Structure 1
Amino acid sequence: MTRSRSLRKTTTLTSATMGSEVKPPASGTLTSPDRLRKIDQLREKNIDVILPLPTLVAVGDQSSGKSSLLESVTGIPFPRGQELCTRYATQITHRRDPEVQIIITIIPAPQSTEAEKASLRSYRKELSSTNELRDQFVKILDEVNVYMKIKTDKNPEGEKTFSRDILKIEKCGPTEDYLTVIDVPGIFRLTSKGQTTESDRHLVRDMVTGFIKDKRTIILAVLPANVDVMTQEILALAEQYDPDGERTLGVLTKPDLVIERSAKEAVCNLVAGRKKALNLGYYLVKNRGGDDDDDSDDDSGLRRKERDLFQQSPWCNLPQERVGVAALRERLQDLLGEITDKAYPELRSEARKKLAEARDQRDALGPPRQTEREQQQYLAQIAAKFQQIVRAALEANYSTHSVFDEHSRRLITRVMGIVDTFNDRMRRKGHTYSFVKMETEDSDDDSASDADDGEDDDPFSEAEQEAAQRNESYFKMARRLFPELESIINMLEQPEFAVKHDNSNWIRNMYLESRGIELGTFSPIVLASAFRDQTTKWGPMTEYYVSTIIMGIHHFILSVLKGICADGKLYEAIKSIIMDDLLARYANGLNHAKFLVQVERETKPYTVNHYFSSNLQKSRGDRVSEALKGKRIWDGHCHSGGAYVVKFDHVKSAITNKSNTEHAQDDIHDILKSYYKVSRKRFVDNVWLYAVDHHLLSGPNSPLTLFSEQWVLGLDEDSLNAIAGESRSTRDKRKELTKKIVDLEEALRILK
C-alpha cells in the first residue's frame, strides 16, 4: 500500500547559544487507518505476546507528569489527583468511526486463568462523549479495580496492588485520527509502608521492560523538566534496551516549574540536541497542572497558557516543531505510521514462521492420549517407526531417515567393521604359540589367506591401529554413558595380542609330560590339551568384540529411541520398561558366544571338513620337502631341460631318521596346525552367525526386535499409562500450543 507524505520545509537553528542545528521531523498523512486498526485488533487478542507489535509506550518515573501528558495528547480526562489508573497499563486508542462513542474494556493478562479472562472480558462500558466519561470516570475506575482485584480503600478485598491486565479506552468519532498510546505505571524506587512492597516495585519494572524491550516499540520517555534528567531512572532503563537512542523520544513536562536560568538552558540544550542526544529528539510540552480548572469542554484555555509560556524566553528560541502538545501529537502519529508500515510485512512473515513452528511442536507431542486406546495407538506408532529405522539400519539403507546422519547410528556398518577386525585379529594373533612355517610352503586356494599363520610378528597396519583406538575410545565412552551394561558385558581393556615363539619346546614338553603307553603314536588327550593351550585367547578376544557389538547396538537403540520420542519423559519411561529385557537379550548373545568358545575348546578335536585332510597332507609333504632341500642335485639331462632331483635313499632317510619323540612332536604340530585353521574359521563364522546375527541382530529374540507393535499390544493398562500417558506438563504444553496456533491463525486472518 502506498502512503503519500507531504514534506514540510526543514527549519535550522544557528544561534550561538543554541549550538548544533536541530532538524524537525517530517510530517504528513497517516498510514492506512485500516492497517492501524488491524494492529489494534492483534493487540486486543494478546497477539503481542507472540508477535511484538508496533507500539507507542509512555513511560516515566512516578510524578513525572505522564498521566497529564496522556490527557493532553489523547483528550481523555483522567481524574485530578486520581492515582488508581497508574496501577495497570492503560491503552488509549483513537479510531475513526461514523459514530461518536468511548468504549472501555479490559484486556486480560496472558497468564490469567480462563475463568479470570472470561470475567475481565465481560466488562464493557459505552459512553457517548468526553463529558460523560469525565462525569463517570472515577466510578468506572472503581469498577475496573474490582474486576482486576486491585486493593483500594473502596475495594479492601482486592488482592493486588498492581495488575498486568490492561485497561483499554477506545475513542471513536468521524474526526478522530488513528493513534494508540499505552501508558504504563510509573517506576518508583522506594516502597511505601502498607501500600507498596519490594515485589510491587519489581513487578512494575518488569511491566515497563516488557513493553519497551522490543524493537517495534517507540519509547516515550516522560521526564519532568524541573529535575535533572540524569537522575531519572526511566531514561537509564530506556538506554538499556535502546542504547543508540533510535526509538526513544524524550518528552519534557512541567516547563513552567523551571525557574533558574541554568536549568532553563539545560532544558533547551536537550531539546536542541546538544546534550544527551536521542535520534528522535526531545519535545517540550505544558500539560494541565493540579491547579488548572477541570471544567473545560475544550482545552483552548490550556493551550493558550501553553502558547503564552512558549512565547517567553528562552522557550521562544526553540524550534516550534519541538514544543507544544500539538507538535508532539503530530509527531507521534507519524512515528506510529512509520513503524507500522515498516513492520506490517514482517508481521505476516513472522506469523507464518511462528505458526509453522507451533504446529511442528504440537505434532511432536503426538496425538492426545488420555484413553487406553489413544495411548496404545500412540505408542504403537512410535514402535512401528522404530522398527522401520531398525530395518533400514540392518539393510544399510541410510538414505531413508535423517536419524542416520550420525555415524554411530549406522548400525550394520559399524558391526561389520567390528566383525572384520575380529576375524583379522583371530587369524593373525588368536593363537598362543606360533606355528612353524616351512620355507617350501606355497599359497594354495585354501591357505592363501592363512599364509601368514606362522608370521606372528606382523605389525598392525595404520588402519588397524586406528580401529583399535576407536574401539578403546568407544569403551571409555560406554563406561561413562551406559553403566547399566557393566554387569552384562566385558568392559575391560582390549586383550593382549602377543604370540609366543617357543612352539617346539611347548609341544615337546606337553608330549613328554602327557605320554602314556602308546606304541609309535601319541594320546588324543595330548592334541586336545595342545588345542586348548593354543586357543587360550579365544575367550577374552571373543568377549571383547561381542561386547563392543553389544555396546554399539545399545547405543543405537537408545539414540534412535530418544530421537523419535516426543519428550524426555516418554523416552525415559520406555527405556525404563524395556531395560531389563534388553540386558537379558544382550546377555543371551554374549553367553552364546561364550558357549561357542567352550564347544570349540572343550570338546575333542574333530572335523569332517576336507580341508583338514588336505592341509595335513600338505604340512607333512612340506616337512619332507624341507628335509630334502639340502640333498637335491641338479640334473641337466632331464628331458625338460634340467631339474632338481634327489636320490631314493635320501628320501628314505628323510622319513626314517627321526626318533619316536621327534615323529610324535612333528605329527602333533602338523595335526594341530591343520585342525586349528579349520576350527578357527568355523568358530569365527559361528560367532557371527549365531551369537551376533541371530541373537543380537536379526533373530526373533534380538534386542532390536524388543520394542515393537507386538510388545505394545502386550502391555497392561497400568504399564501403558505409565509410558504413554500424558503428563500434566505435556497437556499444558499441548493446550498452550493449540491456543498459540489459534491466535496465529487469527493473526494471519487479520493481517490479510
Structure 2
Amino acid sequence: MLTKKNSDEAEPEQTLLSTQALDFCHGEQEDYRIVMLKLEAQIEADIVLAEPALLEKIDRLFACNVGEYINLPQLVVVGDQSSGKSSVLEGLTKLKFPRNSGLCTRFATQIIFRRDPSLRGRKISGSIISTTHKIEKGNASWSMSDAESLNEADFESLISEVSEFSKRMRVKFNCSKVHKAMGLSTSAGDNLPTFSSDVFRLEIIGPHENHLSVIDVPGIFKTTTPGLTFKSDIALVRDMVLNYMRNPRSIMLAVVPANVDIATQEIIEIARELDPDGIRTLRILTKPDLVDEGAEEKIIELVEGSQDSEELGWVVVKNLGQKDLQDPSKDRDIAEDIFRHSPPWNRLSKDNYGIEALRARLQTLLASNVRREFPSVRSEVLKRLKECKRALEGLGEERESTEQQRKYLLEIVSKFQRITENALQTNYGSQDAFDDEPELRLATLVANRNALFSDEISTHGHTYAFVSHTHDDDSEDQRNRSVASLANSVCSDADKFESEEECKSIPSRKINSCSDIEDILHDCVPIQDSQTQGTLAWIEKIYRESRGFEIGTFNSTILSSVLKRQSAKWPSFAEGYICDVICVVHTFIKKALTIICNDQRLGQNILSFLLDGLSDKYRQALSTTNFLLRIERDGTPMTQNHYLNSNLQKCRQERITSAAKKSSVSVTYQNGSSGECVPLSDLTQIHHMNNMEQTVQDIHDILKSYYKVARKRFIDNMCMQAVDFYLVTGPEAPMGLFSPAWVYDLSPEQLDDIVGEEASVRRKRKQLKKQLKDLESGRKILV
C-alpha cells in the first residue's frame, strides 16, 4: 500500500522513496528462499569481496551527487532498446521490472547492492538524485509498508510515484510512479517529456547481498514512437548514453542480442570508438536461445576467442522469453542453468555464461576499478572543492537581504576611502593597484596638471608679449621647452606634442573627456600663442580710444581694459585645466570602484547613483573657476601686495638702464679696473619722450607689474580653491560623497538596485553553494 507523507526536511536534490524491509522470506515463497540462499551461499564461496568499504564510499559519493562534478568509477549498462538490458537487470536484482509500458527505461537507474547481516530479508529503497540545474525543495516523501514482496505491480507503482516528484520540479518523465515524480509523459498529447537526466537510485540491502553497483541508462533507438517519442528524443538519449560512456572511469556493459549481426550493432561501434583497446568494455550477449540454428558456433567462437586478449571479453546471459514470462512457475535461474547444459552452449566456460558469472565479473571489475581510481577521485574532489570555494569567493559576499546589501556596500565604502587616502598621500607602495593602474596616482596627476597650468599661463597666458629691456631670450626658449615636456607628461597619447615651435596653437585640454560627464565639460579649443610685436602700439590705440581730459596721467579704467584684453586667454587655459582635473578625479573614482568591486556591473551601479551628486561637485568647481575669472578680469584691479611696487620700480629701472647703455663708454680707472660710464650731457636725452609716449610707457609698466601679481594670484586661487578645495582634498571633494552617510540614506529599493545580484549571479551562487555542499559531503566521505 502506497501512502504519501509530508516532510519539511526533504533534501532539495534527493527525495526519498523507501520501502520498508521487503522480505522474501514469508509465506508461499519460503521454499524459493531456501533454494536461493543455498545458491547464493555456493556463489559466495567462490567470490572474494574486494574493498567493500571503498565501494560503499563511491556509492555514497553518487548519492550526494558528487558524480555531477567529477567522473566516478562505475559500471554502466548500455545497449539498444529491446536488447535485453532490463532482463539482465532483473537477473541481477531479482526484481521484476515493468514491461509493456511503451518504453522500459527513460532515465538512468543506479542499482546498489549492499550486505547487512543484521537484516532477516531484503530492504529496498529508492530515491531521485536530481541534476544540478533543478534545485528546488521537495516537501513530500513516499514509502511502501506492509509489503511482503515487491512484485511487478508494486515496483511499477514505486517507479511511477517517483515521476510525480519530478513533475513538481518541472523535470518531465513515464513508468507509472517514477515517471510521474520525474514529470514524464504518461500518455500521448500530455506535452510532457519522455526522458529525464535525473537518476533513480535503487538500493537493495540484505543479509546475503554482495557489494555491487550498476547504472542502467536508456537504450539507444533510431525510430520514434508516435505520440510518445520524437526525433529530438533520439539525440537526447544518445547524448545521455555517450555522456556516461565517455567517463574514463566507467566500465561499459554493452548489452547486445545474440540473434543479430553483432558487428553492425551501434552500441558496439560506439564502445570501440571510445575504448579502442577494450580495457573497460564488458560485452554481454543476450537471447542466445533465439540464435538461428547453425549460427551457434560463430557465437561460441566469439566468446571463447576473447579470453586470449586484453579485452574484458564476453558473457552470455539467458533470460526468460516472452512466453515464459507469463508462467509464474518458471524460474529464471533454473531455466538459464538448464540451457547452459544443452549443446553447443555447454562448451562455454562457466566464467562466460550466466547471470551469476556476470555478477562475479562485475564485482571483480568494479572493485579493481574503484581501488585503482580511488586516490585520483579523492584528489579531484579536493581540487574541485577548492575551485568551488574560489568561485564563490569571486562572487563576493551574498547580498540578498537589505542588511546584507548595506553591510556589503559599507565595506566597499571603507575600501574606497582607504585607497583614496593612500592616493592623496602618495602612499603608492601600500597597494599593488597603484602600480597596475596609473590613473589611481591621483595626487601626482593633479600636481603635474597644476604645474603645467602655471607654466602655460606664465608663458602663453598674455595676448601681447611685454616689452623687455633685458636679454632673456635664452631663458624664454628654455621655459617653452619645459612647458612642452611637462605637457607631454599629462597629455593623452593622442594629444602629445614635441615643442611649441611645432605647434602654432596650444590645446586647452590635455586629457580626454569622460563620456558620462562630457555634457558639463568644456570642449578642447586651440589657444593662439602670444604676439611678440606691436605691444606699445596696441596700448597706444587703447589709450587714444579711451583718453579723457587727464593731464600727465590716464584714466584708471584704461588699466581694466588693457588687463582684460591681455588676459583674454585665461578663460581657455583655466577651463581646460579645471576640466582636465575633473576628468582625473572622475577617472580615479571609476577605476577605484572597478578594482574594489571586482564586478563591473556593481561598480557601474554605484557610479550611476553617485553621478548626479558628482556632477554637482564638478559644476561647483567650474562655477568657482568662472567666479575667479570674473574677479580678476572684470573686477576692479586691486592688490595689497608690495610686489606690485617692486615690479614697477624694477621695470622702470630696466628701461632707464637699457637706454643709458646706448650712451655708455668704457673707461679704465686709476686702480686699473674698468667699467661703463654715461656722460652727464647724455642723461637728458634718456628721458626725452612726449606726453603720449610717456603715458603709453607708464600704462605698459603698470600693466606689466600688476599682470604679474594678478597672474600669480589667479594661478594660486585656481589651484587652491577650484581644484584642491572643491575637487581633491577639501570637504567638498567628490570622493567624500561616497561615504557611510550616503549608504545609510539609501532606501531598501535603492540598495537592491545598486548591490542586488543579477538573476544569473544568484543562480550561479545557488548552484555553487549546492556544489560546495555536495563536494563537502564527498570530502567527508573520503576522509
- TM-score with structure 1 length normalisation? 0.78
Cα gap change, 1:399 to 1:177, in 2 (>3 Å): farther
Q: Does 1:193 align with 2:212?
A: no
On the 8 A contact 2:462/2:567 being kept in 1, the answer is yes
Which residue number corresponds to residue 109 of structure 2?
90
What amino acid does structure 2 have at the position aligned with 1:187? Answer: I
Q: Does 1:606 align with 2:638?
A: yes
Q: CA deviation at 1:594?
A: 1.9
Q: How far apart, in 1, do the equivalents of 2:483 and 2:278 lie?
A: 68
Which residue number corresponds to residue 707 of structure 1?
738
Which residue number corresponds to residue 685 of structure 1?
716
Q: Deviations over 1:561-584 (max 9, x none)?
A: 344458666555543433222211
Which residue number corresponds to residue 389 of structure 1?
419
Q: CA deviation at 1:255?
A: 8.8
Q: How far apart, in 1, do the equivalents of 2:554 and 2:530 lie?
A: 26
Q: How far apart, in 1, do the equivalents of 2:608 and 2:318 lie?
A: 70
Which residue number corresponds to residue 438 of structure 2?
407
Unaligned runs of 5+ in 2: 1-46, 168-172, 181-185, 497-507
Q: How far apart, in 2, do the equivalents of 1:205 and 1:506 lie?
A: 93
Residues 101-250 of structure 1 aligned to structure 2 (within 5 Å): 101-110=122-131, 111-112=133-134, 114-116=136-138, 118-119=139-140, 122-123=142-143, 137-148=155-166, 150-151=173-174, 156=186, 159-172=192-205, 177-205=210-238, 207-208=240-241, 210-212=243-245, 216-220=249-253, 222=255, 226-227=260-261, 232=266, 249=281
Which residue number corresponds to residue 57 of structure 1?
76
On the 8 A contact 2:463/2:530 being kept in 1, the answer is yes
Count, aligned residues:
694
On the 8 A contact 1:431/1:499 being kept in 2, the answer is yes
Cα gap change, 1:666 to 1:112, in 2 (>3 Å): same
Q: How far apart, in 2, do the equivalents of 1:455 and 1:503 lie?
A: 24
Q: CA deviation at 1:466?
A: 5.4
Q: How far apart, in 2, do the equivalents of 1:280 and 1:503 lie?
A: 105
Residues 179-578 of structure 1 aligned to structure 2 (within 5 Å): 179-205=212-238, 207-208=240-241, 210-212=243-245, 216-220=249-253, 222=255, 226-227=260-261, 232=266, 249=281, 251=283, 253-254=285-286, 256=288, 281=311, 283-289=313-319, 291=321, 295-296=330-331, 298=333, 301=336, 305=340, 325=358, 327=361, 330-358=364-392, 360-361=393-394, 363-366=396-399, 368-370=400-402, 376-401=406-431, 403-404=433-434, 405-440=436-471, 452=475, 458=481, 461-462=484-485, 464-465=487-488, 467-470=490-493, 472=495, 482-490=514-522, 492-493=523-524, 495-504=526-535, 505-565=537-597, 571-578=603-610
What amino acid does structure 2 have at the position aligned with 1:104? Answer: S
Query: Once structures 1 and 2 are overlaid, which stretch shifts more, 251-260 or 608-617?
Result: 251-260
Q: How far apart, in 2, do the equivalents of 1:64 and 1:191 lie?
A: 17
Q: CA deviation at 1:86?
A: 0.6
Query: Once structures 1 and 2 are overlaid, which stretch shifts more, 536-545 or 397-406?
Result: 397-406
Q: CA deviation at 1:539?
A: 0.8
Q: How far apart, in 2, do the equivalents of 1:45 and 1:638 lie?
A: 114
Q: Deviations over 1:162-181 (max 9, x none)?
A: 23332222244566554322
Root-mean-square deviation (Å): 4.5
Which residue number corresponds to residue 448 of structure 1?
none
Residues 629-648 of structure 1 aligned to structure 2 (within 5 Å): 629-637=661-669, 639=671, 641-648=673-680
Cα gap change, 1:669 to 1:350, in 2 (>3 Å): same
Q: Deviations over 1:480-512 (max 9, x none)?
A: xx443122111x235335232224343343333
Query: Once structures 1 and 2 are overlaid, which stretch shifts more, 107-116 or 691-700?
Result: 107-116
On the 8 A contact 1:495/1:544 being kept in 2, the answer is no
Which residue number corresponds to residue 446 of structure 1?
none
Q: What is the DSSP-based 3-state SS (H/G/I as helix, E as strand, rest coil) of the residue aligned with 1:435?
A: coil
On the 8 A contact 2:303/2:352 being kept in 1, the answer is no
- TM-score with structure 2 length normalisation? 0.75
What amino acid does structure 1 have at the position aligned with 2:516? Answer: E
Cα gap change, 1:80 to 1:496, in 2 (>3 Å): same
Q: How far apart, in 2, do the equivalents of 1:476 and 1:385 lie?
A: 30
Cα gap change, 1:646 to 1:255, in 2 (>3 Å): farther
1:37 to 52, 56, 70: 56
What amino acid does structure 1 have at the position aligned with 2:414? Answer: A
Unaligned runs of 5+ in 1: 1-27, 443-450
Q: What is the DSSP-based 3-state SS (H/G/I as helix, E as strand, rest coil) of the residue aligned with 1:671?
A: helix
Q: What is the DSSP-based 3-state SS (H/G/I as helix, E as strand, rest coil) of the residue aligned with 2:662?
A: helix
Q: How far apart, in 2, do the equivalents of 1:230 and 1:514 lie?
A: 111
Which residue number corresponds to residue 36 of structure 2?
none
Q: How far apart, in 1, do the equivalents of 2:722 and 2:534 lie?
A: 32
Q: What is the DSSP-based 3-state SS (H/G/I as helix, E as strand, rest coil) of the residue aligned with 2:527?
A: coil
Q: How far apart, in 2, do the equivalents of 1:713 and 1:493 lie?
A: 39
Q: How far apart, in 2, do the equivalents of 1:347 and 1:336 lie?
A: 15
On the 8 A contact 1:71/1:77 being kept in 2, the answer is yes
Q: How far apart, in 2, do the equivalents of 1:534 and 1:78 lie?
A: 102
Q: How far apart, in 1, do the equivalents of 2:769 and 2:615 lie?
A: 40
Q: How far apart, in 2, do the equivalents of 1:628 and 1:273 lie?
A: 124
Q: CA deviation at 1:601?
A: 1.4
Q: CA deviation at 1:454?
A: 8.2
Which residue number corresponds to residue 48 of structure 1?
67
Q: How far apart, in 2, do the equivalents of 1:166 and 1:81 lie?
A: 22
Which residue number corresponds to residue 19 of structure 1?
none
Q: What is the DSSP-based 3-state SS (H/G/I as helix, E as strand, rest coil) of the residue aligned with 1:685?
A: helix
Which residue number corresponds to residue 627 of structure 2?
595
Q: How far apart, in 2, do the equivalents of 1:672 and 1:271 lie?
A: 114
Query: Once structures 1 and 2 are overlaid, which stretch shifts more, 535-544 or 100-109?
Result: 100-109
Q: How far apart, in 2, do the equivalents of 1:66 and 1:729 lie?
A: 41
Q: How far apart, in 1, do the equivalents of 2:560 and 2:659 lie?
A: 28
Q: CA deviation at 1:591?
A: 1.3
Q: What is the DSSP-based 3-state SS (H/G/I as helix, E as strand, rest coil) of the residue aligned with 1:434?
A: coil
Query: Once structures 1 and 2 are overlaid, which stretch shifts more, 100-109 or 291-300?
Result: 291-300
On the 8 A contact 1:56/1:336 being kept in 2, the answer is no
Query: Once structures 1 and 2 are overlaid, which stretch shifts more, 667-676 or 73-82?
Result: 73-82
Q: How far apart, in 1, do the equivalents of 2:714 and 2:651 lie?
A: 22
Q: How far apart, in 2, do the equivalents of 1:424 and 1:125 lie?
A: 94
